[in-house]
Amino acid sequence: MFQLGLISFAASMLAMLIALVLTISQLFKRQVKLTKSIVTLANISFGLHTLSLLTLMAMQVLQDYSNAYVVSVINSVMPTVLKMTAVWGGQAGSLFFWSWMLNLVLFISLHVRRQIQDGWSFLFTAVNLLFFGALSLFAENPFSRVWLLESEEILEGVFSPAAGATVYGGISGFGLNPLLRHWGMVIHPPILYLGFALFLVPFSIAASYLIRGESGEGLLGETRLWLLSAWVLLTVGIVLGSWWSYDVLGWGGYWAWDPVETASLIPWLTSTGLLHSLLLQKQRKIFKRFNFVLILLTYIMVVFSILITRAGLLNSVHAFGESRISLPLTLMTLSLFVVCVALLAWRWRLLYSGWELTSLVTRDAAFLYTNVILISLTIVCFYGLAYPLITGVFTGNQIGLDRTFFDQAATPLFILLAALMAVCPLSAWTVNSVKQLGKAALIPLALSVILEGVYYFFLTKSWLALSVLFVVTFGLLLMLTLTLRDSKSPRAAAKRWWGHRARHGAWFVHAGVLLIALGIVGMEALEGSIQGTMIPGDKMPLRSYQVEFIQLTTEYENPEYMTIEAELVLWKDGKVVDKLYPGQHLYENRGQYVSIPDKQSTLRGDFYTLLLDYSSMMGYVTIQASDNPLVNYMWIGALLMVMGAILAATMPWKSLQLDYVDQGDQELPR
């Protein structure tokens, strides 16, 4: 098994290296097109890489404890699915899995109907792939074995560390960290990785355009679907992470500006900006330079994000700890940056496209504002992450920024962004249309003002929450009004709607973001909680709810942990509405327990309960109960964002033009 895994991995990297050398020699001969043999080699490389990945999975499922990685993430009683997915449960495995993802993406890009790789873009893709493959092969090898020395010492290494050492399979595995045993955490990494990896293709193609000195008209059409899919997966990945921390970490938090969260948000911000400004280039033939910068920057930020996650430079719940791959990763990030800056500088004149705006209220201007805010947010996130690293280099002792930095600096920008999204449907390509559309906004505006009064008297007095609520209400009502305006003949309306699905898709995405903002207001401003110790029969009130404690149960069904559960009855307005079972899983072997919250989820919000403490002997429990209104709109909003992006993606790039021509003047009904 070890031989099969390691050799196929090494051979896969070798095949890729040969393909790279061939490509370079072709490029010397001014042959930009990829030859058959290069594609074949890349296919072979992908096949072997996959074989190697499957071997590692098999070793995990078969519990081959001579493998050091298997020892660190597997134990005999884990369910088979978790044994397989533990590939991305630890440092070495997840790095290996990432390199496989890059190979997968390369494979797809070589085999989609319109093959978009040429020699130069292949060069960039392969270099990145080989870099991460080499890190995995030479620094963090997942096939590393456990050795028993003659001195009875145990060492880890790919090859025998000393004469007389034998492979040792006697350590039984420790098992995957219990916190990661949640289906959100099982699918979060691959989705996020795939999203990250997909950005490599547009990056390579943009680099190829720059080298070939092409003006870059075709770039966006070629890469739009890649960018959109990457963006969708990245969105899903980030939201899943957030949902996991709400659902598992127990304190009901959904976002903590943890360095790794922040790092994964940066490529999302830059690619979101890109999805906007590429429309400007399409429609108005402006902002071409900006688009090139964003495509290149997004992938560089992906590598930076991996650096932050893997290198353990910053304290974080995600980081696997300090490691020897931080130096190569830092160098890689820097060299990608330098290469891109050089390429852009070289072709800067060629990329000139002008940036004249029609006016300050038309759609092109709105896109510009959006991007200014998105870039500002990117700067805030990057600055916040880089600050401790930079001060560390210059002053020796580390000075960092705490969470309040991100809260204070990012909140106003996010509110501005939400406000822009709310008024976005009012923007059109010409001043005339804007004026016309403005009239349509009157009813939603009046309604939101009235509702704002309702919020003030019944929901919250916080001006911050109120302003967000206003923006959200207005934005959603406006989109609804404009969508329903021409519903006299449903068939025609549906046809028109489908014809403009790129625009409606974008509105869905915006509505999704506004719903997420609603969820955030719920969590930050409207949440209420209480904790108390109860004996059976006791009731604890929270708002219109009451929690009654029935009994404490203990179960030994799972071989790995003991389950302790409090049986609670949830009352609302004097009626029983639900039964809740918050509990703890006690992993005695690890000396660790994991809290398992339980909640009643409705559209109104969550009633969230957590078992803080208990005594089986005395029969009491301490429960924390929280009322989290509106929280589920975060997940609904995320779903809407994804659906909207997919809807927009079904619109071919060529027809996008028609969709946006003077929509205000001709297409919107009077």
Partner 1 sequence: MRTSLKKTNRKTIIAVLVIGVALIALLIATTRSSTQYFLTVSELQSGEADMTGRNVRMSGVVLGDTIVYDPQTLDLTFEVAQIPGDHQVIKEMGGMAVVLEKAAADPTLPRITIYYNGVKPDLLKHEAQAIVSGSLDANGVFQAKELLLKCPSKYESALPTQAGK
Binding positions for partner 1, rule: CB under 8 A: 68, 71-72, 146, 154-157, 161, 171, 173-174, 177, 179, 250-251, 312, 315, 317, 321-322, 355-360, 365, 368, 372, 376, 379-380, 383, 387-388, 397-405, 408-409, 412, 531-533, 591-595, 610, 612-613, 622, 624
By the 8 A CB rule, do 128 and 118 touch? Answer: no
By the 8 A CB rule, do 455 and 403 touch? Answer: no
Report the distance separating Cα 570 and Cα 538, nearest Å: 12
The DSSP symbol for 666 reads: I
Closer residue to partner 1, CB minimum distance, 255 or 355: 355
Q: Which residue has the tokens 């309702």?
A: 454
Helices of type H across 312-325: none
**Identity at 364, one-letter amino acid code:** D
Report the distance separating Cα 107 and Cα 495, nearest Å: 37
Q: Residue 575: CB partners within 8 Å, gap ≥ 6?
A: none
Closer residue to partner 1, CB minimum distance, 129 or 329: 329
Closer residue to partner 1, CB minimum distance, 94 or 103: 94
Can you say whether residue 164 is alpha, beta or left, with left for phi > 0 and alpha for psi between -120 and 50 degrees? left
- Closest CB 613 distance from partner 1, rounded Å: 4
- Closest CB 597 distance from partner 1, rounded Å: 11
Report the distance separating Cα 440 and Cα 426, nearest Å: 8
- Closest CB 523 distance from partner 1, rounded Å: 16
Closer residue to partner 1, CB minimum distance, 534 or 570: 534
- Closest CB 149 distance from partner 1, rounded Å: 10
Closer residue to partner 1, CB minimum distance, 165 or 517: 165
Closer residue to partner 1, CB minimum distance, 22 or 409: 409
- Closest CB 411 distance from partner 1, rounded Å: 10
- Closest CB 633 distance from partner 1, rounded Å: 25
- Closest CB 547 distance from partner 1, rounded Å: 15
| Cα four-point dihedral sign 292, 296, 302, 304 | negative
Report the distance separating Cα 33 and Cα 49, nearest Å: 25
Grouping H, G, I as helix, E, B as strand and the rest as coil, residue 509 is helix
Closer residue to partner 1, CB minimum distance, 223 or 309: 309
- Closest CB 408 distance from partner 1, rounded Å: 5
Report the distance separating Cα 91 and Cα 84, nearest Å: 15
| Cα four-point dihedral sign 423, 424, 430, 436 | negative
- Closest CB 164 distance from partner 1, rounded Å: 15
**Identity at 652, one-letter amino acid code:** P
Closer residue to partner 1, CB minimum distance, 171 or 344: 171
- Closest CB 595 distance from partner 1, rounded Å: 6
Q: CA of 594: how far to CAs of 180, 186, 255, 529, in Å?
A: 10, 17, 20, 21
The first and second tokens of residue 115, run together, are 């093959």
Closer residue to partner 1, CB minimum distance, 305 or 584: 584
Q: CA of 399: how far to CAs of 3, 242, 261, 393, 402, in Å?
A: 47, 27, 20, 10, 10
Closer residue to partner 1, CB minimum distance, 432 or 592: 592
By the 8 A CB rule, do 295 and 206 touch? Answer: yes
